[in-house]
Amino acid sequence: MDIVFIDETFDINQTKNYHISIQAGLNGYSFSVLDPLNNKYILLKHFAFEPTLTDAKLVEKITEINGNDEFLTREYRSALFSYQSPRYTLIPAPLFNKDNLKTYFEFNHFLDDTDEIHYNGLKNIDAFNLFVIPEPLSAAVQKAFSGVRFFSQATPLAEHGLMFYGGKRTKKVVMANIYGHNIDVVVVEGDNLLLCNTFPWKNEQDLVWFIMYVYEQLKLSGSEIPLVISGELRKTSPVFDMLRSYIRIVRFEKHNDHFKYSYTFNKIDQHWFANLFNLRLCV
């Protein structure tokens, strides 16, 4: 389902003063606009894609949207782009060397001919997130948004976890972000990132199994360690009740109070676009 929410303070003639954050994957294309003067998100728009979309068609769809959408054809103060894909790997900073990016990536993933390697430093731990974006897609995005910065969807999830569930807090927290047919799971404890991994799922039982697998492998107590869910899971989903039978504290992510949000966003659940909003934490 396509959605669009616009705050009455949004001024299309002032976009050069706004920041835009974009999130793309085979399941959809979303963007939000932040007014830095008030530190407030004032626009949110989402285009849903059909389940049969391919990588090649994704580039076509995004190019078409970028060229025709009244908000995406404007110039912005800055642009961030998050590509939703399980193909990323974390490298500790002491081991990181820019000359070895291909070697690092191929240790865990196959590198396609059209893949373009990118990386980001994580602000809250001494590590880098190495990921790929298909070159046709990155070229289309750079054509539309000058100076755009690229990220993996796992980066804002990990940064948010370390910043708001870690730090001085010593209790472990499990975070699960669902998009398309993938689930990113992050586990934090204080200043430590204990796990950051992605699992593919086909049905509701898979979602529950992979989350419980993480609890089992890390020897986490379901009666003590909370689970925070973000992304594409409806509150009415039977997955929520299934998880509650194993984990005592299961809750959906709330708006990050680092930012303000237009009241128009109240029409959707706060957890649905949490990772998109948190992308701005990475800079």
CATH number of the domain within which 182 lies: 3.30.420.260
| Separation in Å, CA 79 to CA 4, 39, 118, 145, 155 | 19, 16, 16, 7, 16
Answer whether residue 170 shows pLDDT above 80: no
Q: At what angle do helices 55-68 and 135-144 cross, to 10 degrees?
A: 10
Answer whether residue 168 shows pLDDT above 70: no
Answer whether residue 235 shows pLDDT above 80: yes
Residue-by-residue DSSP string for 69-137: -TTTTS--SEEEEEE--S-EEEEEGGG--GGGHHHHHHHHS---TTEEEEEEEETTTTEEEEEEEEHHH
Where is average pLDDT lowest: 58-72, 99-113, 161-175?
Answer: 161-175
In the chain, what percentage of residues exceed pLDDT 70?
A: 99
Mean per-residue pLDDT for 78-97?
96
Q: Residue 175 is part of which domain span?
A: 158-252
Q: What is the DSSP letter of 202?
A: S
Q: In the prediction, which pLDDT does 166 show?
A: 82
Higher-pLDDT residue of 180, 43 = 43
Q: How far apart are CA 145 and CA 15, in angstroms?
A: 12
Residue 220 within a domain: yes
Give the model's confidence band at 54: pLDDT under 50 very low, under 70 low, under 90 confident, else very high: confident
Q: In the prediction, which pLDDT does 171 show?
A: 86
Least Cα distance to 65 among 88, 44, 51, 45 occurs for: 45
Residue 151 within a domain: no
Answer whether residue 52 shows pLDDT above 90: no
Q: In the prediction, which pLDDT does 35 show?
A: 98
Computed on alpha carbons and rounded to an integer, the radius of gyration of the chain in Å comes to 18
Residue 134 within a domain: no
Domain count, the chain: 1
* Contact predicate 50/42, CB 8 Å: no
Residue 140 within a domain: no
Q: What is the DSSP letter of 248?
A: S
| pLDDT digit string, tens, across residues 121-164 | 998 999 999 999 999 999 999 999 999 999 999 999 999 999 99
Residue 169 within a domain: yes
Q: In the prediction, which pLDDT does 56 show?
A: 84
| pLDDT digit string, tens, across residues 2-33 | 899 999 999 999 999 999 999 999 889 999 99
Place of tokens 């389902």: 1
Residue 87 within a domain: no
Residue 9 within a domain: no
Q: In the prediction, which pLDDT does 50 show?
A: 86
Mean per-residue pLDDT for 58-75?
96
Q: Is 46 helix (H, G, I), strand (E, B) or coil?
A: strand
Mean per-residue pLDDT for 179-207?
95
Residue 180 within a domain: yes
Higher-pLDDT residue of 115, 171 = 115
Q: To the nearest whole number, what is the mean pLDDT of the chain? A: 95
Q: How far apart are CA 33 and CA 29, in angstroms?
A: 14
